[in-house]
Amino acid sequence: MEEIGIDVHAHHHVDPVVEYKASKLGMWLFLATELLLFGGLFAAYAIFRAKYPEMFHEEHKELDRTIGAINTVVLICSSLTMALGVASIQRGKKKLLSLFLLLTILFGIVFGINKYFEYGHKFEHHIYPSTSIFFALYFMMTGLHMLHVLAGVLVLTALLILSLKGKFSENYYTPIELGGLYWHLVDLIWIYLFPLLYLIS
Amino acid sequence: MANHTVAETIHVPYLEEKGILSWILSTDHKRIGIMYLVSISTFFVLAGIAALLVRLELLSPGKTIVDAHTYNVLFTFHGSAMVFLFIVPGIAASFGNFLIPLMIGARDVAFPRLNLLSYWLYLLGTVIILFSLLKPADTGWTFYTPYSIQTGTDVILLTFGVFILGFSSILTGLNFIVTVHKLRAPGMTWHRLPLFIWSSYATAILQLLATPVLGITLLLLIAERVFGIGFFDPAKGGDPILFQNFFWFYSHPAVYIMIIPAMGVISEVIPVFARKPIFGYKAIAYSSLAIALISFLVWAHHMFVSGMSEVAATVFSFLTFLVAIPTAIKVFNWLATLYKGSIELRTPMLYALSFIFLFTIGGLTGVFLGTLAADVHLHDTYFVVAHMHYVMIGGTVMGFFAALHFWYPKMFGKMYNEAVAKVAWFLVFVGFNVTFFPQFILGMEGMPRRYADYPPQFHTLHEISTIGSWILGLGILIMALNLLRSLTNGEKAPDNPFNSLSLEWQIPSPPPHENFEKIPHVTDWTYGYGKKNNQEG
């Protein structure tokens, strides 16, 4: 009881090992819900692609493959730095964790800046979500994904602040691992979006 | 909380602290459960008043009290508030929150702060939905396209509110699944879990896996209106049937999100008041999971007349019949539990028996509707309205009332007036049947749902139905007054007034903040009633 502290209803009401396992299970379940959220869009993509193959073929040429490819590389690099961050703190290297978190955040921001210019070009060419079913899919899928990148960057920034305050060690790094899981999912979804929208003709 | 030392806080009854902040900032699962209970009950009453107005308009042909648009608004509010604000969070969020840690022998849910966040999201969703009433939607609770894209009413706010509520539902489900997996007391094996836990677990899976699909559907609907995308708009090459598929992919499992927790309640109440061990424990437990699984495979039975191939319709029809199997398994096991029991007709038991009777009618009429040929005739008639209300009121609400009267002493530490509660039950039971049974006949005769007006030949049955709604309303009013009055005037409740063997009854009423002084070691299941050498003496 002594270690429970004043607020007995805070998250410390169970022992750390159980809490670690519970948190990880919770995160995996959350990732499942994210997949289902995007699942609706993937289903819509499949249905409309089957219905309008010519439209998909013609309009996907309008997308900027170069920026798409750069962003793919950027996100893959960010996943690498994230994984290195987790590996660092598991070995107790706190400064290295902060460094890798910072790099991951920067990659996320670069991704966002690229997307900003990409969308900007589309609007200049008067391409909007209402232009066609294909562009509706393009904007909805990449837009929802971008929101997730944004959320990820915010979460990682919070983790970076905690990390700089020295909250994490080789004995306690659950939030880092959870943040990492989330970030990898965001990356993974993009790995599917890129070929589906930009590459397949 | 900071005023108390640790030792004090743990033993203080959870209701002790006063003040609104001590509630809305509390991460105690019991307080969060009570907050849900109060919130959903409030919306039950508001949406119920809308229903009474709908019935009043239908008292006689022609305009009775409101015009057709207002009527559409009323049934839309009734439907969406009952579904999204009352019955989906419903028993799972209120009693689930209160009971799951108590029943499995834990101090709280796995993520108490996330739990509080779920409640705040629920509140945020309700506030947004209430704001949408400034220009209330008239789409019905199903938001079917293309009408929901075209109507000038505030569909965006309403659906955005429902979207937020979805988050609340997902996080609650996630929390419960992890709690049941990771926080069971020593010796509380899966096959010793109370059946309410099994049903909460099955419900949580549905909340987790189905709700995100509703989320994306509503986001797309909002994008149709805001950005002019055309997924669901035939004029833009989209497909309105796609919306129906998406919508029911969530909303059919959601039907089971609504009913499975009530089944869990019935499984707890019946053995206590029959003084017999539950019959077919494992069959009941696994049938909850079976219902949850099958519920993902039957959504298209809502769309038999929307346009689909005969092959698809036949497949979905047969898959729909499959649901009847695990459902019937539960009903037969409850009946077998009652058989030769020493039945005590306390109020919770009366509601539980009503559940079995009414839910069976609701379930069987569901089989009619799952039958292709019959559905073509009955689709979108009052038969569907009656069927749905037999399941939702006859099932879920009866289960909710059973739970309310069963766990009330534990929650509030007070006893309600049993005689008044029985009078209220009688009125509810009679009023419900008088309201909804005539609607089966109305539907058979061809009265379509969602119309503000009807030809004179339907007058008598509509009149009976409306009078029934008054009896039902009166019954619920008496019930509510009895429960509210007992909060202050009720006798002090003993720790275990109904002699239940379940863990939550072995601690004080109302329970202390930390639930258990010492985490219990569980050595047996909770249904050992009527045997020698148990706590009944």
Q: How far is CA B168 from the centre of its chain?
A: 15
B516-525 pLDDT per residue, tens: 989 999 999 9
pLDDT tier at B307, thresholds 50, 70, 90 = confident
Contact A4 B513 (CB under 8 A): no
| A120-128: average pLDDT | 95
Contact A129 B170 (CB under 8 A): no
Contact B227 A18 (CB under 8 A): no
B52 touches chain A (CB under 8 A): no
Among residues B211, B224, B171, B236, the alpha carbon closest in space to that of A39 is found at B211
Task: Please report residues of B whose CB lies closer than 8 A to that of A25.
Answer: 177-178, 181-182
Q: Alpha-carbon distance B130 to B296, whole Å?
A: 31
CA of A127 vs chain B CAs: smallest distance (Å): 12
Whether the pLDDT of residue B532 is over 90: the answer is no
Best probe of the A interface among B5, B6, B207, by most A CBs < 10 A, is B6
CA of A54 vs chain B CAs: smallest distance (Å): 13
Q: Is residue B537 part of a domain?
A: no
Whether the pLDDT of residue A3 is over 50: the answer is no
| B47-58: average pLDDT | 97
CA of B212 vs chain A CAs: smallest distance (Å): 5
A152-199 pLDDT per residue, tens: 999 999 999 999 999 999 999 999 999 999 999 999 999 999 999 999
Q: Report the number of distinct structural domains present in chain B.
A: 1
Contact A26 B111 (CB under 8 A): yes
In b/e form, how buried is each residue of B471-504, taking b as 16+ CB within 10 angstroms? bbbebbebbeebbeebeeebeebeebbbbbbbbb
pLDDT at B11: 75
Q: Alpha-carbon distance B367 to B364, whole Å?
A: 5
- Three-state DSSP state, B512: strand
pLDDT at B530: 84
A7 touches chain B (CB under 8 A): yes
Structural domain spans, chain A: 32-199
| A79-83: average pLDDT | 98
CA of B112 vs chain A CAs: smallest distance (Å): 6
Cβ-contact A189, A39 below 8 angstroms = no
Which residue in the set B183, B216, B228 is minimally distant from A130, CB to CB? B228
Instruction: Name which residue leads in pLDDT, B269 or B306.
Output: B269
Contact A7 B1 (CB under 8 A): yes
The answer for B 58-117 residues in CB contact with A (under 8 A) is 106-108, 110-114
Task: Please report residues of B whose CB lies closer than 8 A to that of A18.
Answer: 182-183
Among residues B438, B369, B365, the alpha carbon closest in space to that of B395 is found at B365
| B211-237: average pLDDT | 95
- Closest residue in B to A28 (Cα–Cα): B174
pLDDT at B9: 58
Whether the pLDDT of residue B533 is over 50: the answer is no
CB pairs A-B closer than 8 Å: 133
Return the axis-axis angle of helices B347-370 and B382-391, rounded to nearest 10°: 140
Contact A39 B208 (CB under 8 A): no
Contact A25 B178 (CB under 8 A): yes
B473-492 pLDDT per residue, tens: 999 999 999 999 999 999 99
A136 touches chain B (CB under 8 A): yes
Output DSSP code: residue A63: S
Contact B219 A132 (CB under 8 A): no
B418-458 pLDDT per residue, tens: 999 999 999 999 999 999 999 999 999 999 999 999 999 99
pLDDT at A13: 61
pLDDT tier at A11, thresholds 50, 70, 90 = very low
Contact A9 B174 (CB under 8 A): no
Q: Alpha-carbon distance B73 to B54, whole Å?
A: 10
pLDDT at B10: 63
Task: Please report residues of A whose CB lies closer than 8 A to that of B9.
Answer: 6, 8
pLDDT tier at B181, thresholds 50, 70, 90 = very high
B515 touches chain A (CB under 8 A): no
pLDDT tier at B370, thresholds 50, 70, 90 = very high
Question: How many other CB atoms sit within 10 Å of the CB of residue A167?
Answer: 14
How does the average pLDDT of chain B come out, rounded?
Answer: 94
Q: Is residue B100 part of a domain?
A: yes
Task: Please report residues of A whose CB lies closer than 8 A to that of B186.
Answer: none
The answer for B 135-174 residues in CB contact with A (under 8 A) is 170, 174
Q: Which CATH class is domain A32-199?
A: mainly alpha
Task: Please report residues of A whose CB lies closer than 8 A to that of B209.
Answer: 32-33, 36
A132 touches chain B (CB under 8 A): yes
B237 touches chain A (CB under 8 A): yes
pLDDT tier at A201, thresholds 50, 70, 90 = confident
Domain containing residue B339: 25-506
The label of the residue with tokens 């509030």 reads B412
Rg over CA atoms, chain B = 23
Q: Is residue B522 part of a domain?
A: no
CA of A55 vs chain B CAs: smallest distance (Å): 11
Contact A9 B230 (CB under 8 A): no
Whether the pLDDT of residue B4 is over 60: the answer is no
A50 touches chain B (CB under 8 A): no
A37 touches chain B (CB under 8 A): yes
Whether the pLDDT of residue B174 is over 70: the answer is yes
B354 touches chain A (CB under 8 A): no
C-alpha dist (Å) from residue A166 to A179, B112, B200, B437: 17, 25, 39, 66
Check the CA dihedral B224-A138-A36-A27 and report its sign.
negative
C-alpha dist (Å) from residue B505 to B10, B70, B200, B379: 18, 48, 19, 46
Contact A33 B209 (CB under 8 A): yes
Q: Alpha-carbon distance A159 to B453, whole Å?
A: 60
B68-101 pLDDT per residue, tens: 999 999 999 999 999 999 999 999 999 999 999 9
Cβ-contact B315, B355 below 8 angstroms = no
Query: What CATH number should be reported for the domain holding residue B61?
Result: 1.20.210.10
Task: Please report residues of B whose CB lies closer than 8 A to that of A132.
Answer: 230, 237
In b/e form, how buried is each residue of A6-44, taking b as 16+ CB within 10 angstroms? eebbebebbeeeebbbbbebbbebbbebeebbbbbbbbb
A169 backbone dihedrals φ, ψ, rounded to 5°: -155, 180
Please give the share of chain B, as a percent, with pLDDT higher than 70.
97
CA of B248 vs chain A CAs: smallest distance (Å): 12
Best probe of the B interface among A13, A25, A41, A174, by most B CBs < 10 A, is A13
Task: Please report residues of A whose CB lies closer than 8 A to that of B182.
Answer: 14, 18, 21-22, 25
Cβ-contact B346, B406 below 8 angstroms = no
pLDDT tier at A103, thresholds 50, 70, 90 = very high
Q: Alpha-carbon distance B437 to B483, whole Å?
A: 28
Contact A39 B10 (CB under 8 A): no
Q: Is residue B161 part of a domain?
A: yes
Which residue in the set B182, B213, B514 is minimally distant from A18, CB to CB? B182
B11 touches chain A (CB under 8 A): no
A45 touches chain B (CB under 8 A): no
| A53-80: average pLDDT | 96
Cβ-contact A136, B231 below 8 angstroms = yes
Among residues B380, B246, B300, the alpha carbon closest in space to that of B238 is found at B246
Q: How far is CA B302 from the centre of its chain?
A: 20
Cβ-contact B439, B382 below 8 angstroms = yes
